Structures are given as C-alpha cells and as structure tokens.
Structure 1
Amino acid sequence: MTAYEVAVRAEATLGEGPTWDPVTGRLIWLDILGSRIQTYDPSTGRRTVRTTHQHVGAAKPRAGGGLVLNLRDGVGLLDPDGTFRWLHHEPVPGRRGNEAAVAPDGSLWAGTMRYDEAVGAGTLSRVTGDGSVEVVLDDVTVSNGTGWSPDGRLMYYIDSPTRRIDVFRHEDGRAVDRRRLAEIETGAGFPDGLTVDADGCVWVALWDGGAVRRYTPDGELDRVIELPAPRITACAFGGTDLTDLYITTARVGLTAPHPVAGSLLVVPGAGKGLPQPAFAG
C-alpha cells in the first residue's frame, strides 16, 4: 500500500473539492455540509477556515483573484476582500451544487444533485465569466468528478450511482459522443471525484471503497492507493511541482468513523499533475 500522510487532521462531515491554487501556494478544500472553505499551506502548515452562508460544493480560483463558488442556490463570486455576489442565482428546493471544475477555456462546469439523490434530478452546466449558463447534461443523479485530458480534447465525467467513468469528446465548449471509459465493480464502492495527470491518466476517488484508483487513457486500471477511511471523496495534485496527491474524506453516515475520516490526506510524490486553469470571471 502506498504510504499516505495526514496533511490536516480534521472531522469534516463531507470533505471535498481539493484544488491547488498556484498563486497562493495553498490547497483549497471544503466541508460541503459544514459550509466551510478551508486552505492549507504545505510549506508552513498554516490553515484558514471561512464559513459560507449555505452549503458549498466547489471553490475554484478566479483569474482576477478570489474564488468562484458552486453553492446550494447557484454559482457565486467571492472577491479577495470577502465581498460576495451571485453570478447565477437559481434556487431549486431540495437541490444543491456539488462538484465543479474549470475547463481549459476558463468556464466552470458546475454539477448539482438533490439532497435525497432522486434519480435524474441533477444537472451539469457550463457557466462562463459573464454569467451565461448552458445545461450540458440534464439527467444526472449525483454529479461528481469532471476533468479534461492534457490536450483539452477529452472530458471525463462521473455520475456516481452509474458506477462509471465516462469520457466525452470536448470541442468549442461542448461535450459530445459520450462513452464509457471504465466501470467500478460491485463491492468496490462508487466513483466520486477525479483528477487527470500529465500522462492523461484519470485518478478516481472511491466512496465506500477506501481507495483512489488510476486508470490509463484506454480505461485500464494500473494503480490502486488503499486508504483506511472508507468514504474517499476527491483527489487533486498539489505542491509547487504538482507531484503530491491530496485526498479528501468524509465522516457523514459512518457510525464508527476511522480516526482519519474527515481529514485531508496526502500521498507525496504520487505522480505529476496538470496545472489547472482559473475561472475567467
């Protein structure tokens, strides 16, 4: 088993969304149900915690500074001075924002899901810097990991209950020709968040699977990182050279959580990540 370390010992209810911010040299991560945005500076160990006014599914750096947030009731902008404003406000009773990712063109691909995980009641939408919104997928149950190949021509996507990692052809802000890249076998958990490395391989966190898996661009499983906490939610490369794999975990729904459940984990030198674009807004 590849050795992991505890980067931040915490008890996040639903730890999620690790994102490396190269401008600040910090790792951003969330507690969705705790309505908290957290940062971690691996060079100093310094941490910050900001509470949001509603559940937050994703927080990504903006090109002009600050963060774009995928919240319960839509997508909002948080300025460096702490000022908040809605970019796209669309409250739907019983629904919240979940994971999101920034595409090579700087748009935010933001997912939603119902709290009761009703089948087909979620969406995946493309949000641009001027606030225009286009629904890309409208029959999603739990919209989760999204990422792009190194050349930007492929988009990988997970709707967790399907147990599939799907791949689309990505062109001109559109995702077409959906097909299956890989499927998680019964008993191994459900695919959650994902990240793509510099080799074009897809790393997938397994909810109720206690692991992160790496799949080749052909869909072959070639590496497994086993972890002691069962609810692994997402992963992302960070550090100044993007070689450390940061992994978020959750405690929600566990009657006897492992001591590291809810913590931010890291596997040093796990691979080589890709620089992530900032949101163009």
Structure 2
Amino acid sequence: MERVSGVSCTVGESPTWNAAEGAWYWVDIPARRVWRMDGASGAARSWDNAEMVACVSAKAGGGLIAGMETGIFSLELGAEPAARAIKLATPVSGLGEGMRFNDGRCDRQGRFWSGTMFMDMGAARPVGQLFRYDAARGISAPFVSELITQNGTAFSPDGRTMYLSDSHPTRRMVWAFDYDIDDGVPGNRRVFADMTSYAGRPDGAAVDADGCYWICGNDGGCVLRFTPDGKLDRRIDVPMLKPSMCAFGGKDLETLLVTSIVSGKPEDAEWGGAVVMLRPGVKGVAETLFGA
C-alpha cells in the first residue's frame, strides 16, 4: 500500500481515473478543491472553487462534470489556481438551504448521476434525491427520494445493474436496481447488502471486471468486496479509520485508489484524510467519459 505524498484532505471523495489523460482526479469537499495526480510521474496539483465540489467525472474533450452545492457544473481546469465553473443544471424543485450534491459518477453510456443530501448529518433528514443529467435532456426528475446520505453509486460492467447506498448511521444500506441502458432508467429496487451486518458504513464504491462491488467501510477502516449476488467475499483493511471512496485505475486498471476523511480521533491522526493506492489483484472497469 502506497500513500500519495503531500496530499491530505479533510473530506477526500470521488476518485476517478481518466485513461485518456493517464491521471487521477478526486476532491476535498469542505476545502472546495479538486485534485489531479499524473499517473506516470505522481505529480499532483489542485484547483480551488467558489463552492464545495462533492463528486466529479471526466468529460469527453477535457475538464470535469461535477455535483456541487447549488447544482451540476462543468469545470474547466487550466493554468490558474481556480477552476472555471459553468452551471449546467439545478433540480427543478431546487436544492433548499443546507443541501448539496454528494456522491456521483457516469453510467456506462456517459450519463451523469448524482444525489443530494442535507449537509448536517446529525439532523438525519430524509430529503436526499437521486438525479440523472445528460446534455440532451438536462436534469431529470428524482428517481429515488427520501435518502439521508446518498452514496455508493456504481454500475455493473455491462451497465445493466445500478447500485446505490445510504451511508447514514441509521440506514447503512446498499440497493441494486435493474438499469435500462437505452433510456437510463433504474427499476426493480432491492436490497443488495445490509451493512448493519458488516464493518463500517457504506460510502463510495467501485465495480471490478468480475462484476464485484467494492464499498468503503467508513468508520470501519476497510474496503469490502461483494459478489454480484450480494455475498461478502473479501475485506481489505486500510490505515485510515474513515475510507470514503475507491476507484480502479492506472494503465492496467489494477490499482485501487482510496480517499479518506479526517475523523479527529487520536488513533487516526497520522492517516486520517490520506489518499492511498494498493494492488488488490483484480482488474477494474474503465469509466465512461461524460458525453462520450
């Protein structure tokens, strides 16, 4: 396991590998920062933003699409220390005070999915919703509602299964949906993994080439792999108490990059907020660029 040197995040999230650039991206939410690391040299730099960036996916043609505090944005990352943010869409009903987007990624067809949450998790307000955005149709009506802390969005290798979690301590649930790859519509929601039976809360996720679902066990210091039928078959312990999201990447798609959150606990002081890379011995699935 290798630590990405010189990088520490308060709430590290949304790692993604851009194969076209040979680079990793991730965010630090409260810092309002987007990070990029070159896969070959390991050189890292960051861009600041006017509002919090919660999740990103790479766009065809360059730049990122992002779920932020007030909507879905296009981010252009240049030589300046700040990103150029262009708002693309806001939910028709609005976000409401104290809300923001949270976890998100593109489906296998290049449509962007992201959900909302009430930022004060202690309030446990089930007001989060899950949306789809594409350039042709704009932002959708919510497909899933009454979420507290939306997370864990991922798609099977063939794109026909969508995963979603709620990482709030009172929920700790992962669901699977049948996914219509032509229309971009999920259906037949069912419990995939009840995380109350396992270590940690279900945070961000990735899917490998075998169709297995890797979920970060936030507060559990581990990453768990579930088979497509929802059976736990592997656990990897990480040095951070609060791993937040994982992603496969590198030239061979065999590196797993894991972000984390500062817990504030003395035993987590050295590693909380770290970004690490490991080689779990399996291959990931290339992410589809938005708009590709």
Shorter-normalised TM-score: what interval? over 0.9
| Structure 2 match to 1:230 | 241
Q: Which runs of 5+ in 1 are unaligned?
A: none
Matches of 1:255 and 1:242, distance apart in 2: 34
Q: Is the 8 A contact 2:18 2:24 kept in 1?
A: yes
Aligned residues with identical type, % of pairs? 34
Count how many residue pairs are aligned between Structure 1 and Structure 2. 278
SS at match of 1:185: helix
Q: How is 1:110-129 mapped onto 2 (pairs within 5 angstroms)?
A: 110-117=114-121, 118-129=124-135
| Structure 2 match to 1:133 | 139
Q: Is the 8 A contact 1:109 1:127 kept in 2?
A: yes
Matches of 1:262 and 1:131, distance apart in 2: 37
Is 1:196 aligned with 2:207?
yes
Q: Is the 8 A contact 2:246 2:258 kept in 1?
A: yes
Is 1:76 aligned with 2:73?
yes
Matches of 1:149 and 1:186, distance apart in 2: 23
SS at match of 2:196: coil
Please, what TM-score do these two structures have when normalized by structure 1? 0.94
SS at match of 2:244: strand
Please, what TM-score do these two structures have when normalized by structure 2? 0.90
SS at match of 1:145: strand
| Structure 2 match to 1:166 | 175
Q: Is the 8 A contact 1:12 1:262 kept in 2?
A: yes
Report the AA paired with residue 173 of structure 2.
R
Deviations along 1:183-233, one digit per CA (max 9) or x if unpaired, are 223572101001011000000001101000001001111110001211010
Is 1:96 aligned with 2:100?
yes
Report the AA paired with residue 166 of structure 1.
W
What's the CA shift for 1:9? 4.3
**142, 155, 174: which one aligns with 2:149:** 142
SS at match of 1:8: coil
Please say which of residues 207-216 and 84-93 is displaced more in the overlay: 84-93
What's the CA shift for 1:258? 3.1
Q: Is the 8 A contact 2:156 2:211 kept in 1?
A: yes
**15, 22, 25: which one aligns with 1:25:** 22
What's the CA shift for 1:112? 1.0
| Structure 2 match to 1:178 | 189
| Structure 2 match to 1:245 | 256
CA RMSD, 1 decimal: 1.7
Please say which of residues 263-272 and 49-58 is displaced more in the overlay: 263-272
Q: Is the 8 A contact 1:228 1:258 kept in 2?
A: no
Please say which of residues 178-187 and 131-140 is displaced more in the overlay: 178-187
Report the AA paired with residue 97 of structure 2.
P
Is 1:42 aligned with 2:39?
yes
What's the CA shift for 1:92? 2.1
